[in-house]
Chains A and B, each alone.
Chain A
């Protein structure tokens, strides 16, 4: 190995782990669905309509909101959704 042919890795040297998707829900009846508003304008309009439809299918709905769309969801909020919901829908963009 000569010096000029060996480079130092400029990355963080991590390799992404691949995780299995959660099993799909066979039915919405009696399930808890989280609806996450990311605080973009009119995200609530979209989620209100979605909630109506999901309730008709027998789902229980929990609504969540990120403080701002410009930052990742706070870790506590992510944990709360994961603990309380069987599935979640996030309303992206406006």
Chain B
């Protein structure tokens, strides 16, 4: 953050100028009037010889411009007791007269002219300036590459990537990323498993740069990191399990649209930058800060392509129901992420059901097959209802609660069908003899969250098979996104 105390200004009137600005040229006679009157200190950003005939100080380093957040030239300031008490941008006779206390300024000049951009906010210079004036705030180790070292190869060799190239995390890029949050770089966001390492804003921002995030995605990434790093989500177990599940991030609230997330056609595909890089940033955080590697703490039998990152937005506008985040306790319209530990997505095809009773039985039949048709009770799944399936429920007036209730009923397992050995299959639930007619839930209450997303064409839904749920496994966590 700019810090005025880093570059104090003299008392009285102060102006910032540059030679290349026509409005600065225009106000030279006014500056002379002020110089002869109350006195004024001039700072010129490009050429200290400007204005001709007036004494100006060299501001080519732009430190004052940076720390005093000068956005345009000319900018006229009044400094009293070391503090700025007034500011005006461009030339406006009334403002200049009021600020200087001098009447009749700039006779013959037009009343008003806008100024030009300050060199300190020039997009081609801003990253370098931010690094120069604010980079000292970053504490991470600097890794200098040798002259003949290729940046990407150097990063691969250090084991910092997921196997794909990353954006090299230079100080300038990390500083730009930190502009995405109002939180301080040294603020601790979470203790990151499995190494229980300190996940600071700065360290997470470095990994967000590498993942390819824009600064405006950073608050979503921070919320996702916070959401997985706790006993409820159990990131350590999720990462270590042989079953190979990984966090899926579902984003709710206006921020989805603000950062351009996809919730519609091909919602689960790579290609949308926000969806792809937010999910990837979380994975890089777990890898680089948390220290998890495949074959290390990650013991998954097959792994999971979604360990590159899984993130999408709910289509709240088209949904007949309240968003997932609201189901889990966050007020509607609030930006939030929900994390859910799961396998990859699997399509549910039903192109014929036009009545909700048929469709719910159809969905349940497919959901029963997650993990194993004879296993249930302790496992979870996340159901993504597609718009064409959603329409069937909407037209029938089914609330989400009604759908959940009907699904739970259709998902009851008959003991005799799922007990160990039944159907000639050793795998199954450990039920005592005589439990043939027992009714068991495929999923416990709350272990089948429902999200609405996808394109308007296709009578499909999608299921993400979950993992062990409840206190002994992983439970979904919803985290509000802070600016």
Contact = CB atoms under 8 A, between A and B. Distances in A.
Contacts of B169: 7-8, 10
B289 A5 contact: no
B141 A13 contact: yes
Nearest to A13: B141
B79 interface: no
Given A13-B140, A70-B473, A6 B145 contact: yes
A4 interface: yes
Given A71-B234, A71-B237, A8 B195 contact: no
Given A6-B143, A7-B169, A12 B203 contact: yes
Interface residue tally of chain A, by bracket? 20 to 34
Contact of A9 (B131, B141, B241, B284): B141
B236 A72 contact: yes
B119 interface: no
A57 interface: no
Interface stretch (B84-92, B97-105, B170-178): B170-178
A53 interface: no
Contact of A10 (B151, B234, B284, B474): B284
A2 B449 CA distance: 50
A42 B335 CA distance: 45
B123 to A, nearest CB: 16
A10 B169 CA distance: 8
Contacts of B241: 70
Contacts of A8: 138, 140-143, 169-171, 174, 206
Given A12-B198, A70-B234, A6 B171 contact: yes
A11 interface: yes
Contacts of A67: 472
Main secondary structure of the interface of B (DSSP, over half): mixed
A11 B286 CA distance: 10
Contacts of A4: 151, 168, 170
B143 A12 contact: no
A14 interface: yes
Interface of A is mostly: loop
Nearest to A4: B170
B195 A12 contact: yes
Contacts of B240: 70
Nearest to A41: B430
A13 B192 CA distance: 13
A41 B291 CA distance: 29
A66 B273 CA distance: 42
B459 interface: no
Interface residues of B, number: 46
A23 interface: no
A6 B474 contact: no
A32 B172 CA distance: 58
Contacts of A9: 140-143, 206
A1 interface: yes
Contacts of A7: 142-143, 145, 151, 154-155, 168-170
A70 B155 contact: no
> Which of A8, A41, A93 neighbours the largest number of chain B CB atoms within 10 Å of its CB?
A8
A10 B206 contact: yes
B292 to A, nearest CB: 12
A44 to B, nearest CB: 13
Given A10-B207, A10-B210, A3 B143 contact: no
Interface string A1-44: 10111111111111000000000000000000000000101000
A93 to B, nearest CB: 8
Contacts of A1: 142, 144
Interface in A59-84: 67-68, 70-72
B391 to A, nearest CB: 39
Interface of B: 128, 131, 138, 140-145, 147, 151, 154-155, 160, 168-172, 174, 192, 195, 197-198, 203, 206-207, 210, 231, 234, 236-237, 240-242, 284, 288-291, 430, 468, 471-474
30 contacts: A1-B144, A4-B168, A5-B147, A5-B151, A6-B142, A6-B144, A6-B170, A7-B145, A7-B151, A7-B155, A7-B168, A8-B142, A8-B143, A8-B206, A9-B140, A9-B143, A10-B160, A10-B169, A10-B203, A10-B206, A12-B195, A12-B197, A12-B203, A14-B195, A41-B430, A68-B471, A70-B234, A70-B468, A70-B473, A71-B234
Given A8-B142, A9-B206, 13 more contacts: A1-B144, A4-B151, A4-B168, A6-B142, A7-B170, A8-B170, A8-B206, A9-B141, A11-B160, A11-B291, A12-B198, A70-B237, A70-B472
